[in-house]
Chain A
Amino acid sequence: MHDVTTPSTIDSFLANTEKRAFRMALLATKDKSESLDIVQDSMMKLVEYYSDRDASDWGPLFHKILQNNIIKWYRQQRRKKRWFWQAPPNDEEDSEFIVQAESPEWEIPDAIWERSEKVDAVVNAVEQLAIRQQQAFLLRCWEGYDTSTTAEIMECSEGSVKTHYFRALQNLRALLDDQELRDVG
Chain B
Amino acid sequence: MNVSDKKSSSRPLTQQDKFARNIANSLDDSLLSIDSDTLKELKEKRDIALAQKKSPRINAPYIWSGIAAAVIVAIALPIYFNQSSQNELEHDIASYYDVDPEMLEMMDMLLVLGDLIEEDPDAI
Binding site for B on A (CB under 8 A): 1-2, 4, 10-11, 14-15, 18-20, 22-23, 32, 36, 39-40, 43-44, 46-48, 51, 104-108, 113, 118-119, 122-123, 125-126, 138, 140-146, 169, 172-173
B15 within 8 A of A: yes
Cβ of A172 and Cβ of B23 under 8 Å apart? yes
CB <8 Å contact, A119 and B33 = yes
**Residue B67 CB within 8 A of the other chain:** no
B56 at the interface (CB under 8 A from A): yes
Quick check: A1 and B25 within 8 Å, CB to CB? yes
Complex: A61 Cα to B40 Cα, angstroms: 24
Q: 6 closest Cβ contacts across the A-B interface? A: A106-B15, A43-B49, A40-B45, A122-B26, A144-B2, A106-B16
A23, B1: Cβ atoms closer than 8 Å:
no
Asked whether B19 lies within 8 Å of A108 as measured between CB atoms, the reply is yes
Encode contact with A along B76-99: 1 for CB under 8 Å, 0 otherwise: 000000000000000000000000
CA A2 to CA B26, docked complex, whole Å: 12
With beta carbons under 8 angstroms apart, the residue of B19, B24, B41, B42 that contacts A1 is: B24
Interchain CB contact (< 8 A) of A44 among B22, B31, B48: B48
User: Can you spell out 19 A-B residue pairs with CB atoms less than 8 angstroms apart?
Assistant: A2-B24, A4-B1, A10-B53, A11-B46, A11-B50, A18-B42, A20-B31, A23-B31, A47-B49, A48-B52, A48-B57, A106-B16, A106-B19, A108-B22, A118-B26, A119-B26, A122-B27, A141-B3, A144-B3
Task: Decide if B1 touches A43 in the complex (CB within 8 Å).
Answer: no
Shortest A69–chain B CB gap in Å is: 13
Query: Given A1-B2, A36-B38, A119-B33, are A48 and B56 also a contact pair (CB < 8 Å)?
Result: yes
Indicate whether A14 sits within 8 Å of B50 (C-beta atoms), given known contacts A113-B22, A143-B2, A144-B1. Answer: yes
Known: A47-B52, A169-B16. 11 other contacts (CB 8 A): A2-B2, A18-B45, A23-B30, A23-B31, A44-B52, A46-B49, A106-B18, A107-B15, A108-B22, A125-B23, A172-B19
Q: Is the interface of B mostly helix, strand, loop or mixed?
A: helix
B103 at the interface (CB under 8 A from A): no
Q: Which residues of B contact A172 (CB under 8 A)?
A: 19, 23
Give the interface size class of chain B.
35 or more
Q: Which residues of B contact A104 (CB under 8 A)?
A: 16
The CA-CA distance from A106 to B14 in the complex, in Å, is: 9
* Cα-based distance from A23 to B16 in the complex (angstroms): 23
Report the Cα distance A19→B26, complex, angstroms.
Answer: 14
- Give the shortest distance, in Å, between B52 (CB) and chain A (any CB): 5
Minimum Cβ distance to chain A for residue B45 (Å): 4
The answer for the CA separation of A15 and B47 in the assembled complex, in Å, is 10
Of chain A, the residue at the smallest CB distance from B29 is: A119
| A32–B1 CA distance with the chains assembled, in angstroms | 28
From B15, B18, B27, B38, A126 is in contact (CB under 8 Å) with B27
Whether B34 and A23, one on each chain, are in contact in the complex, defined by CB atoms closer than 8 angstroms, is yes
